[in-house]
Structure 1
Amino acid sequence: MIVPALLTATDRQGRADAGATQALVDRLAPHVDGFLVWGSTGEAVAFSPEEREALLADIQVPGRLWVGVGDESLALARRHAEAAVAHGADFLLAMPPRFYERALDAAAFRAYFEGLAEVGEVWMYHVPVFTKAAFPVEVVVGLAQHPRITGIKDSSGEMARLEHYRRFAPDLRVFTGSGTTLPAAVASGAAGAILAVANLAPRLYAEVFRQAAAGRLDPTLAGLAYELAARVARGGIPLLKQSLRHLGLPVGYPRAPLPETSPAWPEMQPLLERLAEEGWLL
């Protein structure tokens, strides 16, 4: 199951562009199994609650819908969650608070995630590259006992964590957020992947997932998927948006202060040409 962590298309003033975002959704829809809107790839932290709700109201997303709702307080996160549920979210994807990390014990995590579970079905989001904060596996396993906390997107790339979930929280649905470790995640029981790079080459990652699940992974294909995911991970949103603009999709530019272009573009362009020749690009 492959789900793109959807980019938020923007105009030249940095405002969310619902029409261009919808165009990206429509291009992706035949190749994916759902969408994550307002995740980290969607630049959620750079947009106000009002802007985030307005985009949800203005786009139509087929299939299962995850909406990013994490924030630094339960009150703010619940505001995002209520808007997401009102606009059709199936799952609320919440990263833990992080600014006051030293004060966050197991009881604080429980209050936050269980408070969100009063609004809708919650998936946890572990993305240490951005949060720079701990999300202990024991806390994840404890939260997984709640009937409305049913999944996790784990972007750490740490296979030991996925094995821990499989052993101690067997009913928790685990999706990886790491394109570079996708085959290993499948081997560790991941039921799907929510990937930034799926905005660009969704069929490639769907095929890698399918082959890995069947135990017959083409090493050349796996290497190509790894290389693309690694480059996108290093270049981030600027490189991903630059790549999609190169393909003629009007996704716009990252919201300031993120740069409009990436210094990794010279290395990315030849890889895109290869992917295009092999028919993998969107």
Structure 2
Amino acid sequence: MHFDGILFFPVTPFDESGRIDHDLLAQHVASGVDAGAGGVFPACGTGEFHALSAAEAGAVVRTAVAAVAGRVPVVAGCGGPLGHAIEVARAADDAGADALLVLPPYLVGGPQAGLVAYVEAIASASALPVVVYHRANAQFAPDTMRRLAANPKVVGFKDGVGDVGVAQLIVRAVRAVREEGRTDFAFFNGLLTAELTQAAYRGIGIPLYSSAAFAMIPEVANAYYRAYSDGDEVRRLALLDGFYAPLVALRDETPGFGVSLIKAGLRLSGLPVGSVRAPLVDPTPAQEVRLAEILAAGRALL
């Protein structure tokens, strides 16, 4: 797989009855690809994977694949309880996804050998390659990633921990495997509001990043990406100070706002994507006013 551009993590729209609105999802995904997304990651963190049944996750991926229509890679979320993860992986394969993003297992922690077994069990469950998501109770040591990178079905590493030192060692470990013949392994910065940290991640050899902001305000996310890609530090820092830093400050007020604010921003723009599912909560009216001001400030910078 090859990614060229921002990695787009669409929300999962719900109607007033709490059911998935597939027509709105297709519109949301198609508009993101039209806006220049380099890859689409449906039913992942921003898409509330934690709150979807296996059947719902498979249906979300199927809708996303149809909306993308082969223009960019589609990487579907899977994870949680192993049985659930395997069921979701097979559904994503049937739906036409190009790869899987393996989220952490549910609740329990395990040793490194157990994490390897978890990833390999999911990779073996379908024909799809997998991207490892390094976060929470699934944190992979450099030697573990070296071992996993020797498996041709493991094609990527996404960092959601934020320990730049460990991430650097993992990049070096995987590159040692790549020097022995791997050429298709990708590295992603998957921290919340990754624009805030991406300059540092590029410095350690992780050039790609996911952008939740792209889902609600692609014009600002694209402006940041262009400045980042072109080395225009004046422009990049103006967007960082004027838009991303205030957004992060609001995001950090309430757990789960990395998702809730994106849905709120889409609603403010006129796309009725509905509320988030429990245990997440929507912003208060006062917080929505502040979000609207942040979005307006971002657009003004353009």
**TM-score scaled by length of structure 2:** 0.82
Q: Which of 15, 30, 38 is the aligned partner of 2:19? A: 15
| Contact 1:231 1:268 (8 Å CA) reproduced | no
Which 5+ residue runs of structure 2 have no aligned equivalent? 179-184
Residue 30 of structure 1: aligned partner: 34
- Deviation, 1:98, is 4.4
Looking at structure 2, the residues matched to 239 and 225 of structure 1 have their Cα atoms a distance apart, in angstroms, of 14
Residue 117 of structure 2: aligned partner: 111
Quick check: 1:165 aligned with 2:170?
yes
Looking at structure 2, the residues matched to 49 and 10 of structure 1 have their Cα atoms a distance apart, in angstroms, of 16
Change (3 A) 1:228 1:25: farther
Identity among equivalent pairs (%): 26
SS where residue 271 of structure 2 aligns?
A: coil
Matched ranges for 1:69-218 at <5 A: 69-73=78-82, 75-101=83-109, 104-118=110-124, 119=126, 120-128=128-136, 131=137, 134-170=139-175, 171=178, 172-178=185-191, 179=194, 180-218=196-234
* CA root-mean-square deviation: 2.2
**More moved, 258-267 vs 166-175:** 258-267
Quick check: 1:238 aligned with 2:254?
no
Kindly provide the amino acid, as one letter, of the partner of residue 189 in structure 2: T
Any idea what the Cα deviations from partners look like across 1:148-200, whole Å, max 9, x if unmatched?
10101212233223312221112441111232212222222223112222212
Residue 222 of structure 1: aligned partner: 240
| Contact 1:117 1:148 (8 Å CA) reproduced | yes
| Contact 2:242 2:301 (8 Å CA) reproduced | no
Looking at structure 2, the residues matched to 163 and 249 of structure 1 have their Cα atoms a distance apart, in angstroms, of 39
Kindly provide the amino acid, as one letter, of the partner of residue 122 in structure 2: L
Change (3 A) 1:13 1:257: farther
| Contact 2:260 2:282 (8 Å CA) reproduced | yes
Looking at structure 2, the residues matched to 85 and 20 of structure 1 have their Cα atoms a distance apart, in angstroms, of 23
SS where residue 132 of structure 2 aligns?
A: strand
**More moved, 234-243 vs 78-87:** 234-243
Looking at structure 2, the residues matched to 215 and 276 of structure 1 have their Cα atoms a distance apart, in angstroms, of 21
Residue 283 of structure 2: aligned partner: 261
| Contact 1:186 1:209 (8 Å CA) reproduced | no
Change (3 A) 1:135 1:159: same
SS where residue 64 of structure 1 aligns?
A: coil
Where relative contact order (Cα < 8 A, 6+ residues apart) is larger, the structure is: 1
Kindly provide the amino acid, as one letter, of the partner of residue 88 in structure 1: G
**More moved, 118-127 vs 220-229:** 220-229
Residue 248 of structure 1: aligned partner: 270
SS where residue 188 of structure 2 aligns?
A: strand
- Deviation, 1:233, is 4.0
Which 5+ residue runs of structure 1 have no aligned equivalent? none
Kindly provide the amino acid, as one letter, of the partner of residue 69 in structure 1: C
Any idea what the Cα deviations from partners look like across 1:37-93, whole Å, max 9, x if unmatched?
0111111111111111222333424211010011221x3211111111111111100
**More moved, 168-177 vs 52-61:** 52-61
* Count of aligned pairs between the two proteins: 273
Looking at structure 2, the residues matched to 106 and 43 of structure 1 have their Cα atoms a distance apart, in angstroms, of 27
Looking at structure 2, the residues matched to 200 and 54 of structure 1 have their Cα atoms a distance apart, in angstroms, of 22
Residue 61 of structure 2: aligned partner: 56
Change (3 A) 1:160 1:214: farther
| Contact 2:6 2:209 (8 Å CA) reproduced | yes
Looking at structure 1, the residues matched to 67 and 39 of structure 2 have their Cα atoms a distance apart, in angstroms, of 8
| Contact 2:27 2:67 (8 Å CA) reproduced | no
| Contact 1:14 1:254 (8 Å CA) reproduced | no
